[in-house]
A = this chain, B = another copy of it.
Amino acid sequence: MNYPKGIKVTPQKELKKVITYGNRGMSLENDLNITNEFYRDQDRAIIYKKPTPIKISKVNYDTMKITEAFFESPSTTDYNGVYKGRYIDFEAKETDNITSFPLKNIHKHQLLHMRRVLDHQGICFLIVRFNKRHETYLLFAKDLLQFIEGHEQKSIPYTYFQEKAYLLEEQYHPRINYLKVVEEYGGV
């Protein structure tokens, strides 16, 4: 392929290597950040990951360096933004489990937040990657909350994802085209 002069091309192979063998725990997050950047560049949607909530306890005001701080548990989901004027909001999690997704991965506050977003007609969902299956699913909040409200189980069986969630295609760009599912099944 011929590229115009001055455009730096990252070979697909190299990029893939970075993503795959980098910080494994970060890879779904990486994929989503790249996807959201692509959506912004293509002017499809404006969606960002929120910064990690941190409680700052000591700051050196001369250098503005934070010298003591702690991670806080999030009261909302990690991602939000706008798509065709609509509010969009989601959480993303990875699991090494094969047969189920443990609900301890989602805080109670986050579930309450999702319920509220739904009540306010926002588009809300959970993205779950089953690492060992190399599969990533989108489960709408309606189906997530329905499961939680109707079951005592502490995890959602993989079969529930097969039944109710949407398998997200993974490709070069966008890495995880979740807006396609939102467009087709999210009522936009």
A residues in contact (CB < 8 Å) with B:
40, 43, 45-46, 48, 50-54, 56, 64-71, 75-76, 80-89, 113, 116-117, 119-122
Partner of A85, one of B54, B65, B120: B120
The CA-CA distance from A76 to B49 in the complex, in Å, is 11
15 additional contacts (CB under 8 A) given A66-B69, A85-B122: A40-B116, A46-B113, A46-B120, A46-B122, A48-B76, A51-B52, A52-B54, A54-B54, A54-B66, A81-B87, A83-B120, A84-B121, A85-B121, A86-B87, A87-B87
Cβ–Cβ contact B46 & A84, under 8 A: no
Task: Say how many copies of this protein the assembly contains.
Answer: 2
Minimal beta-carbon separation of A3 from chain B (angstroms): 26
Partner of A86, one of B53, B69, B86, B89: B86
Partner of A82, one of B40, B43, B48, B87: B87
Can you report 18 A-B residue pairs in the complex whose CB atoms are below 8 A from each other? A40-B116, A46-B113, A48-B75, A51-B51, A52-B54, A54-B54, A54-B56, A65-B70, A66-B71, A67-B67, A82-B121, A82-B122, A83-B120, A84-B120, A84-B121, A85-B121, A85-B122, A87-B88
Cβ–Cβ contact B70 & A66, under 8 A: yes
Closest 6 A/B residue pairs (Cβ) = A85-B121, A82-B87, A66-B69, A82-B122, A51-B53, A87-B87
Cβ–Cβ contact A80 & B83, under 8 A: no
In the assembled complex, which residues on chain B have CB atoms less than 8 Å from the CB atom of A66?
A: 54, 66, 68-71
A54-B51, A64-B70, A65-B70 known; A120 vs B45 contact (CB < 8 Å):
yes
Cβ–Cβ contact A116 & B54, under 8 A: no
In the assembled complex, which residues on chain B have CB atoms less than 8 Å from the CB atom of A50?
A: 50-51
The CA-CA distance from A167 to B2 in the complex, in Å, is 56
The CA-CA distance from A141 to B29 in the complex, in Å, is 30
